[in-house]
Amino acid sequence: MNATSLPHQRIAFVSTRDLSQLNGRTQILGPVIRSLRRHNRVDIVPLRSVMQTKTLRDAAGAALNWGLSLLRLRPLPLQCLLYASPSEARKLAEHIARHRYDAVYLDTVRCQVLLRALRRAAPDIHVVTDFDDLMSRRAAFLARNGMPFLSGHVGPQMPRWLRFLIESPLARLITAYEAATLPAAEDEVVRNSDLTVLLSPVEQKMLQARNHATVISIPPPVPLEAPSWAAAETLRFVFIGSDRQLQNRTAIDALLAVWRRLKPATELHIYGRQGRPAIDVPGVVWHGFVEDLAEVYRPGSIALVPATVAGGIKTKVAEAWAWGCPVLGNEIAFEGLGIEGYPLLRCVDHWDALLTDPAAHAALWALAARQGSAFVRDQLAPRLSERAWDRAVTPGLVTSCM
């Protein structure tokens, strides 16, 4: 059955974040919504956190839910607790049931409490939960390596004092708590969903091994934006990402350490909104946020991704390939992409020669750019994502083909 022959669906798209804000997750959600809207009617249904509703009733209700979860020995993760207002969950569940949607899209495990209410209000509705990446795995990685917790997109909603406590004195305690509680929350959501989606096939297999429910992977759609460059008068290294996300902060810190040690003649250009003041390191140029990615990935740009936090698919890798640029990265940077024989997958300890004399490796940069561009064209084309999401939101279609 092709996409055009699939029945038209009415979909409630439940989002836990402000889709107008540009960040890594919303950059993935935007194309998903556009894909679904090609053949379906999609209504955005925001699920507000207790930080957004700012009512005593919602805060008390979430606290009660947390207390009950402790008594049941299945404590809610804190990121689920933020969206655990019973009144908010009940209101949204009743809205979805009343409008008789064919399917519901839920934005990550944070919709745990809403999903419980939804199964009471509309037990037969087709529910697709998009995990994005496997949060329990990331939390376990952070806890195991003693890395701090960052509040992410929820941070700006919090009082400054609370955000300070969460990200500083209590950071490691919170990370340990999330690592301990997220697996059970994910398993509950998987059991109560008709279909669970992850970006990475690596994490899809991990979650499938824990559950007997239907779990699939749908990589992000990435359109080709520019031909791969074969030669350029000027070479430069680039990194894009806000340090408000832990994976970006650790990567930036790793790159700054390399530039301090090697002092390469070729400049490193860092793009993205930064929460910390720009650090003065010779050869490093800070640009802040830019709207036009053509400025970041102009010919001669070589993207660096020394990833330290495993999980999902690093969209900045696919993005650079789509703009025709090579990507120098480690194993974590390319996890989930499955590109075979890629010449720039190297441990960071083996980058020195490439960074100190990039001009001597012109053929290698050109080869990697061509391979990356071909991978995006063949494996990440938007039409493939559109087809996969159309099938995902059609009741019974994916499970019947498993």
Q: pLDDT value at position 17?
A: 83
Q: pLDDT value at position 401?
A: 35
Q: pLDDT value at position 71?
A: 95
Mean pLDDT, contiguous 10-residue spans, the chain (402 residues): 65 86 69 88 94 91 95 94 95 96 95 97 96 92 78 64 69 90 96 96 93 90 94 93 87 96 97 90 94 94 94 93 98 94 96 97 96 97 92 77 36
Q: What's the rounded Cα separation, in Å, for the pair 44 and 143?
A: 34
Q: What superfamily in CATH does domain 236-379 come from?
A: Glycogen Phosphorylase B; (3.40.50.2000)
The alpha carbon of residue 74 and the mean position of all alpha carbons in its chain are separated, in whole angstroms, by 26
The CA-based angle 24-27-28, given to 5 degrees, is 95
Q: pLDDT value at position 402?
A: 37
Q: Which amino acid is at 303?
A: A
Q: What is the DSSP letter of 48?
A: -
Residues of the chain with CATH 3.40.50.2000: 3-221+382-400, 236-379
Q: Which residue has the tokens 């490093």?
A: 284
Give this prediction's pTM: 0.87
Q: What's the rounded Cα separation, in Å, for the pair 93 and 161?
A: 33
Q: pLDDT value at position 7?
A: 62
Q: pLDDT value at position 235?
A: 96
Q: What superfamily in CATH does domain 3-221+382-400 come from?
A: Glycogen Phosphorylase B; (3.40.50.2000)
Buried b / exposed e over 331-349, threshold 16 CB at 10 Å, is: ebbbbbbebeebebbeebe
- Beta strands across the sheet bearing 103-107: 41-46, 10-15, 103-107, 126-132, 195-198, 215-217
Q: pLDDT value at position 154?
A: 64
